[in-house]
Amino acid sequence: MMLRDETLMALGEVIEEGDIVVAVYQSLFDWMEIKPRDLNYVATGAMGQASSHGLGLALANPERRVLVFDGDGSLLMNLGTLATIGEAAPENLYHLVFANGTYEVNGGHPVPGGKNIDFASIAKACGYPHSFRFSSLQKMQGMLAEIISCKGPVFMALDIEQGKKYPWKYDYIHSSEARDRFRRALNRG
């Protein structure tokens, strides 16, 4: 198993200035502390919408890489989006699911199917040309440069544990300030 914060730190090493990161819930809260940046898209709203928002951003911004940091429970609420992404085939979309088997920010309740769901195989069956699963940070880091250079859509299932817990900043992620900051950064080019 990988610790989420260490996994996010490793991912932060390959994020470039113009990349868009769409993150949800606990991954979002951790990411905002680990890699604060204006192109962190935090306005996903309802659980399950990260992949749909990421797809829209990828299609509208083909010159930018779009990385979606999804949760396993969140993705299950919108599993059909994998087929939609596979069909649309945006070459700039990298969809990562942080799978820990719980709805962590909603009380730690178990995700149906928990750790038995093979998201990487589901993504592959839905048309993602590249799909990976990692439970070792070292193995992920060893392949990360190659993976991030693949034409998407690319899927990565990451078997994680909590790691260091960062503050839950709901006021910020639901604020007009967060949306305005992202909009200005996106419009700057």
pLDDT tens-digit readout, 131-152: 999 999 999 999 999 999 999 9
pLDDT at 53 (0 to 100): 94
DSSP structure class, residue 150: S
Query: Is the pLDDT higher at 49 or at 51?
Result: 51
* Prediction pTM value: 0.91
Residues in CB range of 174: below 8 A, 6 or more apart: none
Q: State the amino acid at position 120 in one-letter form.
A: A
Query: Who has greater pLDDT, 46 or 88?
Result: 88
- pLDDT tens per residue across span 163-180: 677 666 666 766 677 788
Average per-residue pLDDT in the chain? 87
Instruction: Please enumerate in sequence order all residues whose Cβ is within 8 A of that of 151, keeping only pairs 6 or more positions apart, or say none.
Output: 91, 129
- Beta-carbon contacts of 149 under 8 Å, excluding residues fewer than 6 positions away, are none
Confidence of residue 49 (pLDDT cuts 50, 70, 90): confident
pLDDT in tens, 93-136: 999 998 886 656 565 666 677 778 899 999 999 999 999 999 99
Going along the chain from its start, the domains and CATH numbers come out as 2-187 (3.40.50.970)
Give the mean model confidence (pLDDT) for residues 76-88. Answer: 94
User: For the chain, what percent of residues have pLDDT higher than 90?
Assistant: 53
